[in-house]
Amino acid sequence: MATFPEEVLTRTKKGETEVRSLIDRGRYVRYRYLHPETGEAMEGGKVKLVLRSEAGPAEEYFLIPTKSERTLLIPTSEKGARKIWDGSRAVDL
């Protein structure tokens, strides 16, 4: 059995001990969709989350708010290079 430092151990609601173990590290981008004429959020506030790994392909998800005030996370296919609006100009994703 492996020995882990105390700082990485946590307890579940059932009182069991777990180890927080890194899967990957990288950076992320979140963006929303706006109506091109009004600048208002489209589709009820849907947000795209792109997780960029330091070593591997990007993962993409839609974050969709629900009526119960929770957020639904839906995996989607990686779309490749594209530009997003940063409030003043188009920038690389």
**Integer Cα distance of 74 and 44 in angstroms:** 15
Tell me, yes or no, whether 50 lies in a domain: yes
Domain contains 14: no
For 26-59, what is each residue's pLDDT tens digit?
A: 999 999 999 888 888 887 778 999 998 888 788 9
- Considering the domain boundaries, does residue 30 fall inside one? yes
Give residue-wise pLDDT tens across range 64-86. 888 898 999 999 988 878 899 88
What tokens does 41 get?
């959020």
User: Does residue 80 lie within any of the structural domains?
Assistant: yes
Assigned domain for 61 exists:
yes
The answer to whether residue 15 is domain-embedded is no
Predicted TM-score (pTM) of the model is 0.75
The predicted structure's pLDDT at residue 59: 92
Number of structural domains, the chain? Answer: 1
Range of the domain at 69: 24-92
Of 25, 20, 22, 26, the closest CA to residue 5 belongs to: 20
> pLDDT class for 1, splitting at 50, 70, 90?
low
Asked if residue 36 is part of any domain, the answer here is yes
The pLDDT score that the predictor gives to residue 2 is: 77
